[in-house]
Amino acid sequence: MNALTLFYAPGACSRVPLNALEELQLPFEERPLALMRGEQKKPEYLAINPKGKVPALQVGQRILTENPAILFYLATQYPEGQLLPNLDEPEGRMQALGDLVWCGSALHPLVRQILLPQLFTSGDTEPVKEFALQAFRPVVDQISSRLSNAPWWYGDRWSIVDVYLCWLMGIATLGGAPGVDHLAITEHIGRVRARPSFVRALAREKAAVERCNIPLPPGEAVSPRRRRPGRLSH
Ligand SMILES: N[C@@H](CCC(=O)N[C@@H](CS)C(=O)NCC(=O)O)C(=O)O
């Protein structure tokens, strides 16, 4: 087996692959970065991931970037871990890939605009945030309606998509989106957070924060408590 190293930042979207590795119970090395100190833009890290973002997963000598790609890689490389359902059918694989890409390419940019509108304009941030909040509303309704009928995104089976949605909804809620108003979403977040692999992932983040003295902005959560918005570039 190729050695795995995850480059991640406490509180960031890299929590999803961190949770995936914990779910798979694979041995891996962790390299936490302090985004607030700009470690993701330092030459040492840019040599690993020129995009200057977390996550990055080193697999042997290769580097994988982009959450959907990392998660799909882990799910298909270690199918016994059941990170995604129905991987043995082409339709199931493409459904799962579609959902991961939706999270990464549609929802993640939207929640960034909600939490960090200042990154998208040099002027008034309110219209940017309002536009993103409006675009996010039907998404929240869609997620909420699906989770009202079943405990997990894929019905009665947990998957890594649930963790991705949980992280996205948490960030959007920090930014003022109406996630917590939806009981189905709040309860879903509770279920995701109660899973042992999530608890272990969070404990790793917390330990990294303490060990490496990683500064977190006020809104950044490495504990289940919800806090105020921060300034990380999510
Ligand atoms: N498309 C990328 C987005 C990664 C991303 O935006 N990561 C944020 C943390 S959530 C980051 O590294 N921000 C630091 C920065 O932009 O300087 C993915 O899905 O992996």
CATH code of 132's domain? 1.20.1050.10
Residues 190, 162: contact at Cβ < 8 Å?
A: no
49 in contact with ligand 1, CB cutoff 6 A: no
Q: Is the pLDDT of residue 71 over 80?
A: yes
Domain membership of residue 224 (yes or no) is no
Q: What is the pLDDT of residues 118-166, one digit of tens each?
A: 999 999 999 999 999 999 999 999 999 999 999 999 999 999 999 999 9
Alpha carbon distances (Å) from 140 to 2, 11, 137, 185, 216:
39, 21, 5, 8, 27
One domain for residues 77 and 161: no
Choose the residue to mutate in 54, 113, 167 for probing ligand 1, maximizing ligand atoms within 8 Å of C-beta. Answer: 54
Q: What is the mean pLDDT of residues 174-186?
A: 85
One domain for residues 137 and 44: no
22 in contact with ligand 1, CB cutoff 6 A: no
12 in contact with ligand 1, CB cutoff 6 A: yes
Domain membership of residue 175 (yes or no) is yes
Q: Is the pLDDT of residue 226 over 50?
A: no
As a whole number, the mean pLDDT across the chain is 92
Entry field: residues in the chain: 234
One domain for residues 15 and 67: yes
**DSSP annotation string for 103-123:** IIIIIHHHHHHHH-GGGS-SS
pLDDT of 137 reads: 92
Domain membership of residue 230 (yes or no) is no
One domain for residues 111 and 206: no
Residues 174, 226: contact at Cβ < 8 Å?
A: yes
Residue of the CA atom closest to atom 12 of ligand 1: 53
Residues 113, 128: contact at Cβ < 8 Å?
A: yes
Q: What is the pLDDT of residues 32-61, one digit of tens each?
A: 999 999 999 999 999 999 999 999 999 999
Q: Categorize the per-residue pLDDT at 222 as very low, low, confident or very high, splitting at 50, 70 and 90.
A: low
Domain membership of residue 232 (yes or no) is no
Point out the ligand 1 atom lying closest to the alpha carbon of residue 233. 13
Domain limits for position 163: 90-194
Point out the ligand 1 atom lying closest to the alpha carbon of residue 68. 19
Domain membership of residue 227 (yes or no) is no
One domain for residues 136 and 156: yes
One domain for residues 58 and 142: no
Among residues 183, 186, 184, 174, the alpha carbon closest in space to that of 219 is found at 174
One domain for residues 204 and 156: no
Among residues 9, 87, 16, the alpha carbon closest in space to that of 53 is found at 9
Residues 164, 153: contact at Cβ < 8 Å?
A: no
Domain membership of residue 221 (yes or no) is no
Look up residue 155 and give its DSSP letter.
B
Task: Quote the CA–CA distance of 120 and 201 in Å, as a whole number.
Answer: 31
Task: Quote the CA–CA distance of 209 and 47 in Å, as a whole number.
Answer: 23
pLDDT of 127 reads: 96
Task: Quote the CA–CA distance of 26 and 23 in Å, as a whole number.
Answer: 8
pTM of the entire predicted model = 0.93
CATH code of 34's domain? 3.40.30.10
Q: What is the pLDDT of residues 113-124, one digit of tens each?
A: 999 999 999 999
Q: Is the pLDDT of residue 232 over 60?
A: no
**How many domains does the chain divide into?**
2
One domain for residues 38 and 129: no
Q: Is the pLDDT of residue 94 over 80?
A: yes
Domain membership of residue 117 (yes or no) is yes
One domain for residues 37 and 69: yes
Domain membership of residue 222 (yes or no) is no
Task: Quote the CA–CA distance of 15 and 130 in Å, as a whole number.
Answer: 27
The alpha carbon torsion through 120, 124, 127, 129 (nearest 10 deg) reads: 50
One domain for residues 100 and 171: yes
Work out the percent of the chain whose per-residue pLDDT is above 90.
86
